Each structure stands twice: as structure tokens, then as C-alpha cells.
Amino acid sequence: MDDERLSDDLAAWACFRLDRLQPGLRILHLYDANGVVTKGVLLVRIRKTVFPLGRRFAKGGGIVKEKKRWGGLGNQHASRQAGSEGHQPRCGG
């Protein structure tokens, strides 16, 4: 079997802060493994929906009440809002 066909090399990557993406159709530029912009782009449609705390999106477009979570995701959200260092997402190199 041809090993070249089975390789899983990185073709391109992209990383964007979701809070900075504006709704609508957007073109996102892709980067190579060294962080250099390539000719590759993604055409995406951005649509944001904010749900009340304690609810989540369910298949079929409805909203269902969320079961009790283990792990305290609310605390992570609060620390990000307070500007806690070390919790900021990082992209690329």
C-alpha cells in the first residue's frame, strides 16, 4: 500500500477569536505549519446565538433545560471576565 496517500500532513490552519468575527459571510485566510499566510481561504457564514445561563441548544432548533454540570464552567467564564491571566486562548505560534 502507498504510504504517501496515508500520511496526515497539516495542509493549513486558522485561529480566530469568536467574539471578533462579525455576523455574515466572511473569508478567513489560512496559514501553513510555519504561520505564513497561504493562498488558501475558507468562506464561512457566521451566526451567533446567545442562550440564557442554564440552557443549551438542542438538535432540531429547540432549547432544552440543561442538566447539572460537573466541573464549574461558570467559574471559568467569570475568571475570564475578571481578566485573569493564563486563561486567555492562544492561537498558533
- Report if residue 22 sits inside a domain: yes
Supply the pLDDT for residue 41.
95
Number of domains in the chain: 1
pLDDT in tens, 26-83: 999 999 999 999 999 999 999 988 877 766 666 565 555 555 555 544 444 443 444 4
Is residue 91 situated within a structural domain? no
Q: Which of 71, 74, 72 is nearest to 52 (CA)?
A: 74
86 within some domain: no
**Is residue 37 one of the residues assigned to a domain?**
yes
Residues 6+ apart with CB under 8 A from 43: 25, 26, 27
Instruction: Encode pLDDT of 4-27 as tens digits.
Output: 666 668 889 999 998 898 999 999
Query: Does residue 67 lie in a domain region?
Result: yes
What is the model's pTM? 0.47
Closest CA to 12 of 29, 27, 28, 30: 30
Q: Which domain holds residue 48?
A: 3-81
Say yes or no to pLDDT of 93 above 90.
no
Is 35 domain-assigned? yes
What sign for the dihedral angle of Cα 18, 19, 20, 22? positive
